[in-house]
Amino acid sequence: MAFSGLESSCMAHEIRLRSQRTRGATIIELIVAVIILGVGLLPLVLALNKIYTNTYSLGTRGEAQLLAAEKIDELKSLGYLKIATDSLAGSDSVVYQDDAVVMKPFSRSTEISYIKYNGGTSFVDADSADVPTDYIQLKTEVRWATDTAVYSRNLTALLTKEGALELE
């Protein structure tokens, strides 16, 4: 079957048109692809933001806990008698504000209280007959604020003439 010149010219033109149509994407196809990609990546970006926020928050809470523990350890190292004579100086309770904490926007307050034991509290590794009748309670609170809320971490320790007690 032989093609005439006109028919072969039409076929060549049709082949050229098909090859031109399949060369690239139209602007509409590109816009649709970008929208689909954006909708697909949005949850991933939101999840990464939440992970970052939670990680930062955990780090800040950990720093606050360390600041509280640091103050409790500092007071425990002074001992019962030094705290009773110097810090309490005859009063039942005293509160110290420690706003000059160098790290981040933390403020730390420490309450030192003389407490008579009246039962009802459980101690680690202590029989109720072995619990002293009076002790000093060391309570430290570290506070910090974010754009959305104010947070705090508390740490409490009991100090006796014999040493520190741990609450259960």
Average pLDDT over residues 137-146: 86
What is the model's pLDDT at position 94? Answer: 72
Strand partners, 143: 107, 152
Q: Which of 22-26, 84-88, 149-153, 164-168 has the highest mean pLDDT?
A: 149-153
pLDDT at res. 142: 87
pLDDT tens digits for range 103-119: 567 888 888 888 776 65
Q: What mean pLDDT do residues 14-43 have?
A: 79
Give the containing element (helix H, strand E) for 57.
Answer: helix 27-78
Report how far apart, in Å, the C-alpha atoms of 4 and of each of 1, 8, 13, 69, 70 are: 10, 6, 14, 97, 98
Supply the pTM of this predicted model.
0.60
